[in-house]
Amino acid sequence: MKSKFIEKLLPLLRKHWPHPLCEVNHKNALQLMVGVIMSAQSTDKTVNEITPALFKRYPTAKAFAQANPLDIEKMIYRCGFFRAKTRSIMGACRVLVEKFGGEVPKTMEQLLELPGIGRKSANVILGAIYGIASGIVVDTHMIRLSNRFQLAKGEDAVKIEQELIKVVPQKDWVFFSQSMVLHGRYICVAKTPRCWECHLIKICPYSDKVLSPKLNEKEEPRKTITGLPMLTRKHSQ
């Protein structure tokens, strides 16, 4: 039953998000690692506003590892929990320098050795940087959509990932992770899902669908924070 739903879901997700991207801006694995540490309980938009200056000042893992923590704290203050995140960033970079030649490793086991990096963050890095399907990224958006689509129950990210990898083909794990996160962020939002824009509406089992926009809302093209167009369903379809 769930596998059949996934067979229908994947092509419809591709109609919305043919080329999904991780929304933490980065040019390399180190930048993405630092960005995902910073993004915890913050927004990618805020992180992306902070990181250009941060990466200019600290271009390598060694530079981060040898930094004055007070300087990093001042630079990342706006993303919240700045002291804990500074410790994680510097700790992770020390491990990179001491154990991995300053490079971000390519396996789940090695990534989990880095302070501040859990399974979700490791899946993000492996998928977005290396194209490695190590698992499925389960964040708040994936949890919400998995429940709404009746693919899993509850809030336990580990259990939800195990349920999802049973039914989503491994070749689609990276796409599924990235597109579902985008879908949850921009279409199937928490309070008022934009079902009238959603290509999934005919197969979606969610009972509290919102079938039309508010009267004062204009239907016009929207983009993600990284500039991806949202290929939405027309309300008249």
Residues annotated catalytic, as ranges? 120, 139
C-alpha pair distances (Å), 58 with each of 20, 54, 200: 28, 6, 43
What is the chain's length? 237
Phi, psi of 185 (to 5 degrees): -80, -35
Q: How far apart are CA 99 and CA 182, in angstroms?
A: 34
Q: How far apart are CA 61 and CA 101, in angstroms?
A: 9
3-state class percentages of the chain: helix first, strand second, coil last, to nearest 5: 55, 0, 45
C-alpha pair distances (Å), 203 with each of 130, 145, 180, 182, 228: 32, 13, 15, 19, 25
In sequence order, what E strands does 110-178 have? Answer: none
The neighbouring-strand residues paired with 223 are: 229
- 196 token code pair: 């009238």
- 78 token code pair: 């706006």
C-alpha pair distances (Å), 57 with each of 54, 63, 69, 190, 205: 5, 8, 13, 37, 49
